[in-house]
Structure 1
Amino acid sequence: MRVVVGVGAGRGVAAADVLALLGSVLDEAGVPRSCVTALASVDAKAGEPGLLEAAARLGVPLVTFDASALAAVDVPSPSSASLAAVGTPSVAEAAALAATDGGELLVPKRTSGPGDGAARATAAVARHRTPEPGVRGAHGMDGTTQETAPC
């Protein structure tokens, strides 16, 4: 299953903090890091060193979206803090969904704990809407297709 991790972050967040949160949300989703195709965020975070380093360590791109595009994405956990900070009520969930072209949200927004004044981060995991070419699936009773091949 190919996924995108949407990430919101405070200024100066460390890559290690982002990667720790990513590990946690991917474990919750039951998805290995090798299945991550991208990290996604808001344009305002495109140059954030911790996000860029985390993406580089994973070997995936950091894709970003305009705040107005993210604001148009329906999410389960909107935040007034995010709206005030970057102009959209959601970064992590909305970016993950936008980067998967409206895929399925597997793990809603999770927040890293504050530590010694360190910047906080948020992360959410979304599955790509269509399976990777060549991936076989098993059809469920509800008509959905579950991928059966590893990423």
Structure 2
Amino acid sequence: MAHIRHRPDAVVVGVGARAGAASDEVLGLVRSVLAEAGAGAGDVVALATVDAKGREPGIVAAAAALGVPLVTYAAGLLAAVPVPHPSRRARGAVGTPSVAEAAALAGGGELLVPKRISAGAGGGAGRVTCAVARAG
């Protein structure tokens, strides 16, 4: 696990994605939730996700594009983090009822933007989830 630098305006972006999600979709949603939080890319100290998604190319590329570490957490640790929007789908896929919100909150802090889902083709749900928390 990478060390996260803390400063008063620092935020952690939690990201979940289905296999094969493109970095453009990840970055687009990250930028949208950052704007919703009143934060910018320079405020991000880490992208965080579950271990099972730590090598997902779209997430890895998004962290690189933002110039921040990608921090991963074990599913069991994330499952213990209380979140406002748990998902049976996430639990079935990666063993935790939350990836984006729990990963954003895993280091402590306060949830600024709860889980958002990217827009998919045809206006349906996309392949990426994202949440923002003030770094704890």
TM-score, normalised relative to structure 1: 0.81
- Equivalence for 1:121: 128
* TM-superposition CA deviations, 1:99-122 (whole Å, max 9, x none): xx2100000000002227996100
User: Shift in Å at residue 84 of structure 1?
Assistant: 0.6
Write the distance in 1 (CA, Å) between the matches of 2:95 and 2:55.
17
- 1:2-151 matches, cutoff 5 A: 2-98=10-106, 101-115=107-121, 120-129=127-136
Q: Which has the larger radius of gyration?
A: 1
TM-score, normalised relative to structure 2: 0.90
Write the distance in 2 (CA, Å) between the matches of 1:118 and 1:81.
13
Secondary structure at 1:120 match in 2: strand
- Equivalence for 1:141: none
The one-letter amino acid paired with 1:57 is A
The structure 1 segments of at least 4 consecutive aligned residues displaced by more than 6 Å after TM superposition are none
Tell me if structure 2 keeps the 8 A contact 1:42–1:64.
Answer: yes
How many residues were matched structurally?
127
Q: Against the structure 1 CA distance between its residues 84 and 95, is the aligned structure 2 distance closer, same or farther, given a 3 Å change threshold? A: same
Write the distance in 2 (CA, Å) between the matches of 1:105 and 1:3.
9
Write the distance in 2 (CA, Å) between the matches of 1:63 and 1:38.
7
Write the distance in 1 (CA, Å) between the matches of 2:50 and 2:121.
23
Secondary structure at 2:119 match in 1: coil
Write the distance in 1 (CA, Å) between the matches of 2:125 and 2:25.
9
Write the distance in 2 (CA, Å) between the matches of 1:118 and 1:18.
13
Tell me if structure 1 keeps the 8 A contact 2:10–2:134.
Answer: yes
Could you say which structure has the higher helix fraction?
2
Quote the RMSD (CA, aligned, Å): 1.5
